[in-house]
Amino acid sequence: MRDTPIPDPTPDPHPDPHPDPHQAQASPGIEPPSALALQATLVDFALAELVRQQRQSFQPLWSRESWAKLLIWLALNCGCGTDPASLEAFAAAIGPSQTARMRRQFFERQLEELNLLVLADPADQQVLVLPLGPARGADAAHDLAFDRVAAALERVGLAAHVVADRSRWQSLEKVVAVPWSQPCT
C-alpha cells in the first residue's frame, strides 16, 4: 500500500501569484457565462467599437443624416439590399435596444483630457455636457465651467451647431445643457 498524502482542507495562506491560465478558475457557487452570453457580449462590444471607429466617416457630422448613413453602411456590409424592405428587416434584426445603444455611442464623445462627456443627439433639444467621472481638483464646478464646456464643444466640432450665447446655457447640478442653434437635420 502506497502512502498518499491526504489533501489539506485549509486554504493556502500563500497562493501562487502566477496561477496556470490553462487551469479552470471557477468561483464556488458562480456559474461561468454561457456561450450564448459570451457571444452576445462580443457582438455588443464589436458593434460599439465599429460605431466609434466609423462615426466620423459619415457627413454631415452631428446629424440624423449621418446616423442614417451609418445604418445603411452597416446593412450593406451585412449583405442587405438597398430596397426599403431589406433595410427595415435589418433594423428589425438589430432590435430597438441595440439600436438605442449604438445611437448613443454614435452621438457621444468622451474627452478624457477635459474629464467631460458630450452627448449630442440631434433628436434631443440640447447638447448635454457632463463629467466623465469624479471631479478633478477642488470641486465639480470647475469641470463644468462654461469655458471648459466651450472648449469641449469646439474640440468635437459642435461649436458652430450650438447657441453661442452662454446666457442661454443651463448649468444644472452635474450637467450643462447647451441648446442647438437650429433644429438639426
Query: What helix, strand, coil percent values describe the chain, rounded to 5?
Result: 45, 10, 45
Q: How is residue 103 written as a grid cell?
A: 445611437
User: d(Cα 72, Cα 111) in Å, to the nearest integer?
Assistant: 28
pTM for this model (two decimals): 0.76
Q: How confident is the model at residue 89 (pLDDT cuts 50, 70, 90)?
A: very high
User: d(Cα 127, Cα 108) in Å, to the nearest integer?
Assistant: 10
Amino acid at 74: L
Q: How is residue 140 written as a grid cell?
A: 465639480
Domain boundaries, the chain: 55-106, 108-179
Could you read off the pLDDT of 97-133 as tens digits, one per residue? 999 999 999 999 999 999 999 999 999 999 999 998 8
Nearest to 87 by CA among 101, 107, 73, 105: 73
Could you read off the pLDDT of 90-103 as tens digits, one per residue? 999 999 999 999 99
